[in-house]
């Protein structure tokens, strides 16, 4: 089975800190995604990447950036964390649209 691993389950950071959320997949998938999940809003796409060093903005990219230096790793960066970025962050990867996404377990980030 494909595995998508998010390095932290829970994080607490201070306002203004630079935050890195890491995601690694082990099946050579080309497409990787970062979503945030908030109650009542479902999942909203922040950024995605369809190849190494390639990235595209999703629906809510403001306040975030991403890095994909290696195929298996896709990092989400909060340049200066703010309290409104407190959320559950989910990483996913996919080989093709027929297969559907494989999700990581999520990182619950609290910004205080």
Partner 1 sequence: AQSVTQPDIHITVSEGASLELRCNYSYGATPYLFWYVQSPGQGLQLLLKYFSGDTLVQGIKGFEAEFKRSQSSFNLRKPSVHWSDAAEYFCAVGARPAAGNKLTFGGGTRVLVKP
Question: What SS3 state is found at 90?
Answer: strand
The Cα–Cα gap between 111 and 61 comes to 18
Contact range with partner 1 by CB under 8 A, out of 17-25, 60-68, 73-81, 103-111: 103-111
Q: 34 and 91 in contact (C-beta within 8 Å)?
A: yes
Which two tokens mark 56?
């595209």
**Residue closer to partner 1 (CB basis): 44 or 73:** 44
Q: Say whether residue 109 binds partner 1 (CB under 8 A).
A: no
Which two tokens mark 19?
């935050």
Q: 28 and 1 in contact (C-beta within 8 Å)?
A: no
Interface residue with partner 1 among 56, 79, 82, 112 (CB under 8 A) is 56
Q: Say whether residue 94 binds partner 1 (CB under 8 A).
A: yes
Interface residue with partner 1 among 17, 18, 50, 110 (CB under 8 A) is 50
Interface residue with partner 1 among 33, 34, 64, 74 (CB under 8 A) is 33
The stretches of the chain forming alpha helices (DSSP H) are none
Q: Which residues bind partner 1 (CB under 8 A)?
A: 4, 31, 33, 35, 40-45, 48-50, 56, 58, 90, 92, 94, 96-98, 100-101, 103-106
């Amino acid at each position: 089975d494909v595995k998508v691993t998010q390095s932290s389950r829970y994080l607490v950071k201070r306002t203004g800190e630079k935050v890195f959320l890491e995601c690694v997949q082990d099946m050579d998938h080309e497409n990787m995604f970062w979503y945030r999940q908030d109650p009542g809003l479902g999942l909203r796409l922040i950024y995605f990447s369809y190849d190494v060093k390639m990235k595209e903005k999703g629906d809510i990219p403001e306040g975030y950036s991403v890095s994909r230096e290696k195929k298996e790793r896709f990092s989400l960066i909060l340049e200066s964390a703010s309290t409104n970025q407190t959320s559950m962050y989910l990483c996913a990867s996919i080989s093709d649209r027929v297969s559907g996404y494989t999700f990581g377990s999520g990182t619950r980030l609290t910004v205080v």
